[in-house]
Amino acid sequence: MGVVNVTPDSFSGDGVLDPLDVARRIHRVVQEGADVVDIGGESTRPGHSPVPAAEELRRVLPAITSARDAGALVSIDTRKARVAREATRAGAVLVNDVSGISDPEMLAVVAEAQAALVLVHCRPLVSRVDIAGQVLADLGRLVEHATFSGVERGKLIVDPGFGFAKTWRDNLFLLRDLGRLRALEVPILVGLSRKATISKVLGVSHDDRLEGSLAAASAAVVNGADMVRAHDVKSTRQATAMVDALVR
């Protein structure tokens, strides 16, 4: 899954707003081998300024068209049901909601669109004992809630939410125990690309996180991830494909 942030304040520093720059970014992501293009119009960085739905749609709808024209499957990264509705009508086939379904209308929108849905863990941990167990239980409840609300189980994907309400040490423990999420019997998506955890572990700057990102993505594949969300698509695809060939 290749990331395209149509924002001025992305945590990864790769946000773009100019339509031509967005189209070029999408073309590059597809050429480098992304199976899915994940388009977001609102930053998820700590302390970000909320974006009204109308502005978010103004940003993402042209990008969705560009991604479809490039032949890519499109994911919309949003926490708003209104944005998800318009994005799926425009051609997005997957909704990536990093809020853990905070909008009460989201599940109905996804069910009506017959879209796939990423359920992201973002609840605060109640303790540092058995982190993977807590994430497994919380995601299990989200899966049941989604299916009860009409979303097909076969269209669900879970994301353990690295970096969301978790410390860098929490992220490491969770990555080591990622395989426990296989008990949910739905695909696992991980997003570790350029996360602050990498700087914490390696002592590198924001601009020097590539090698750490590749190592983390590779470890995720070894431990059971089915899909990896990445900013550096070509490098990540090559690294994870090699690991996949070795361990599966």
Q: For 122-148, write each residue's pLDDT tens digit.
A: 999 999 999 999 999 999 999 999 999
The two structure tokens encoding residue 154: 């076969």
CATH number of the domain to which 181 belongs: 3.20.20.20
Residue 247 makes CB contacts below 8 A (sequence gap 6+) with: 221, 222
Catalytic-residue membership of 229 = yes
pLDDT, residue 89, reads 98
Give the pLDDT confidence of 170-218 residue by residue, as tens digits. 999 999 999 999 999 999 999 999 999 999 999 999 899 999 999 999 9
**4 DSSP β-pair partners:** 39
Domain total of the chain: 1
Q: What average pLDDT is seen over the chain?
A: 94
**How many residues in the chain?**
248
pLDDT, residue 17, reads 67
Question: Catalytic pick from 229, 234, 237, 248?
Answer: 229
Alpha carbon distance 91, 115 (integer Å): 10
3 state SS of 200 = helix
CA atoms within 13 A on the CB side of 202: 19
Question: Catalytic pick from 195, 234, 237, 248?
Answer: 195
pLDDT, residue 19, reads 85
pLDDT, residue 248, reads 79
Alpha carbon distance 138, 157 (integer Å): 14
Give the pLDDT confidence of 100-124 residue by residue, as tens digits. 999 999 999 999 999 999 999 999 9
Alpha carbon distance 52, 48 (integer Å): 13
Indicate the burial class of 5 (C-beta count within 10 angstroms; 0-12, 13-18, 19 or more): buried
Question: Which residue is associated with the tokens 């773009």?
Answer: 16
Residue 123 makes CB contacts below 8 A (sequence gap 6+) with: 100, 138, 165
Alpha carbon distance 27, 161 (integer Å): 27
What is the domain extent for residue 122?
Answer: 2-247
pTM for this entry:
0.94
Catalytic-residue membership of 234 = no
Determine the residue type at 158.
Answer: V
pLDDT for 85 beyond 60: yes
Give the pLDDT confidence of 2-44 residue by residue, as tens digits. 999 998 855 444 556 688 889 999 999 999 999 999 999 998 7
